[in-house]
Amino acid sequence: MKNILVPIGSSENSINTLQYAIDFANEVGAAIFVLRAYNVQSKAGTIIDVNAILERESNLYMRSMINSVDRKGKDIQLISAKGNVVDSIASIDKEIGVDLIMMGPKSNSIKEEVFLGATSGSVVKQSDIPVLIVPESYVFKPFNSVLTAFKSGVVNRKDVLNPLQFVKNKFNPVINLLLVKTPGYVDSDLAIDAALDALKSSLKITENATTFQGVLEHFQSSNPDMLCVFRRKRGFFKKLWEKNTILKKEFHCSVPLLVLSGKA
């Protein structure tokens, strides 16, 4: 894992998310890139260069964030981008290659009932880059136990598992697989991909209405310090990801949530 991208918004938790990313990157030897995207809505006849002002303000904001954390001697690179976050991430990925995105659950939302804000939700939903959602006020610690939940053991792209393989190699956690048989499953869903199977410490098969309900039922007994799920069209967030914002009453995760890239 070489490059970690940290998009930051205006939430109070942004400093904590950045510190977590730095601590994680320091542990694994990765580079940190901090992104702040801004939109320009220019009006006809304006003389002021709004774009330049917003870019300058964006850079000042990121520098203030950097000055508020323990950099642990790391050279943190700042990226100020005009446009929405998802498009900016895609452009940065083409240029430098992003291995992992780290975000807080609420980039900009201040509503207590929100788990994933619109910005974080759109990144998780639309980007093919794996995303690690860091809970508010969460402090980095090595992973000892990972719960990986899915409704189909089929993995069509082997590189989808790269982040989980990396965590396995670096931290050597217990990786518990949870295969949730939901209504309408087919026998092929029960066949575990060889690469995924090789990562497991244990496998549990359960029957629930949704993968999400399966996680709720077995989360406490597994007691993981990371939850890993796949972003699939019919996967964990099938219903939740019909919109970008996710409320806490719909889903909430108290540990880092690793969302493996789509097209799995």
pLDDT the model gives residue 144: 96
pLDDT the model gives residue 263: 46
Tokens 């697989």: give the residue. Answer: 177
pLDDT the model gives residue 157: 82
The one-digit pLDDT tens for each residue of the chain (264 residues) are 999 999 987 667 889 999 999 999 999 999 999 998 876 655 555 555 556 666 777 777 788 888 889 999 888 998 888 778 888 899 999 999 999 999 988 655 455 555 566 677 778 777 889 999 998 889 999 999 999 999 888 888 878 999 999 999 999 999 999 999 988 888 888 999 999 999 999 999 999 888 878 888 888 888 999 999 988 655 555 555 555 555 555 566 789 999 997 544
Assign domain 145-252 to its CATH architecture: 3-Layer(aba) Sandwich (3.40)
pLDDT the model gives residue 262: 55
pLDDT the model gives residue 231: 80
Could you tell me the fold of the domain covering 3-133? Answer: Rossmann fold (3.40.50)
Torsion of CA 176, 180, 181, 184, to 10 degrees: -140
pLDDT the model gives residue 264: 42
Rg (CA), the chain: 19
The domain ranges of the chain are 3-133, 145-252
Give the other-Cβ count within 10 Å of 30's Cβ. Answer: 19
pLDDT the model gives residue 178: 95
What is this structure's pTM? 0.85
Token digits for 110?
Answer: 């201040």
Tokens 């099938």: give the residue. Answer: 238
Distance, in Å, from the CA atom of 55 to the CA atom of 245, rounded to the nearest integer, reads 27
